[in-house]
A = this chain, B = another copy of it.
């Protein structure tokens, strides 16, 4: 069987998915929609895309399409998910699902009702380093987890206009780390305390956001967690984590473009970490779409479900509230659990 796919939103991440999908033999990327398509003509031709449209509903209405990738701006996600679910399409949606827990819940209910698959784009779950750490935890190699530490720093901040509409550091950047925390520890976060600061660029503060944060977590299984964030690491993208338990610890270090070490009269040096998420998570982007395709074709469970999406959003909300109030916030105060989660 060939899986026909439509892409909604052909920005940077939409194009990456096209490239990765095209290397999967069972997949045909049939259609792409975007709010403007003039500049996409030659790109679409090179990629052998048949349908290029400004109206994503053309994709939802196409009976041949089995799955859609929602790569449009966050504020459109929930609506499109609901429509796509009604049209019976399987859905891959970029993170976060929405900026509103209510909207996210409605979208997930629609997915649940339609019986389609929904995968949220927490690509880092597919990173070989973090996967290995999760595997070691699951195999009991470190025993019961006691402490999780995630270091997550970007090489440079986005521009201030982006920041203004980003939902804030916790919803835009840390949300990946909140999901990672749940993925590694395999237990729900029950309390959050956030410290934040504006140390990278005052303009970020003027935009109402922070650029540096330390968030501490308590998990239902008793473990404690730390997340460290900065919007700018001079040496590049810093993506490490360590989980410590009663039998030992597993740590994932950064990836580098090569293994070369240079020794000179000045020092011994090696390459900096891979520059940013496109480089560091190149393989994760490949694998997340491969496994989404396999989950559909072989009707297997999804590795990042809608529930994972909403839980990460709830933690982000809690962190924001903690930052504003200066005290720890319990997750049970954030949104209400409903039957389906």
Contacts and interface: CB of A to CB of B under 8 A. Distances in A.
Interface string A141-158: 111101101010100000
A129 B327 contact: no
B214 A226 contact: yes
A142 B200 contact: no
Given A224-B214, A271-B268, A146 B262 contact: no
A159 interface: no
A132 B262 CA distance: 10
A314 to B, nearest CB: 19
B250 A261 contact: yes
A339 interface: no
A153 B244 CA distance: 10
Contacts of A31: none
A252 B260 CA distance: 4
Interface in A270-298: 270-273
A269 interface: yes
A151 B146 CA distance: 13
A105 interface: no
Contacts of A133: 260
A216 B195 contact: yes
Nearest to A196: B224
A133 to B, nearest CB: 6
A147 B228 contact: yes
Nearest to A144: B199
Interface string A235-274: 1001000001011111111110111111111011111110
Nearest to A212: B146
B226 A264 contact: no
A265 B247 contact: yes
Interface string A180-218: 000000000000010101011000000000001110101
A115 interface: no
Contact of A23 (B23, B129, B195, B247): B23
Contact of A252 (B153, B212, B228, B259): B259
Interface of A: 23, 25, 46-47, 128-129, 131-133, 136, 141-144, 146-147, 149, 151, 153, 193, 195, 197, 199-200, 212-214, 216, 218, 222-226, 228, 230, 232-235, 238, 244, 246-255, 257-265, 267-273, 326-328
Leading 5 A-B pairs by shortest Cβ distance: A248-B264, A235-B263, A253-B259, A269-B269, A267-B269
28 contacts: A128-B258, A129-B260, A132-B258, A141-B264, A146-B212, A147-B212, A149-B228, A193-B216, A193-B328, A199-B223, A212-B224, A213-B224, A214-B225, A214-B226, A216-B226, A228-B244, A232-B246, A233-B249, A234-B247, A234-B265, A235-B263, A248-B262, A248-B265, A249-B262, A251-B263, A255-B259, A267-B269, A269-B269
Given A252-B258, A253-B259, 17 more contacts: A128-B258, A129-B258, A132-B271, A136-B260, A136-B262, A146-B199, A147-B230, A193-B195, A193-B216, A193-B328, A195-B224, A234-B246, A247-B264, A251-B261, A253-B260, A267-B269, A268-B269
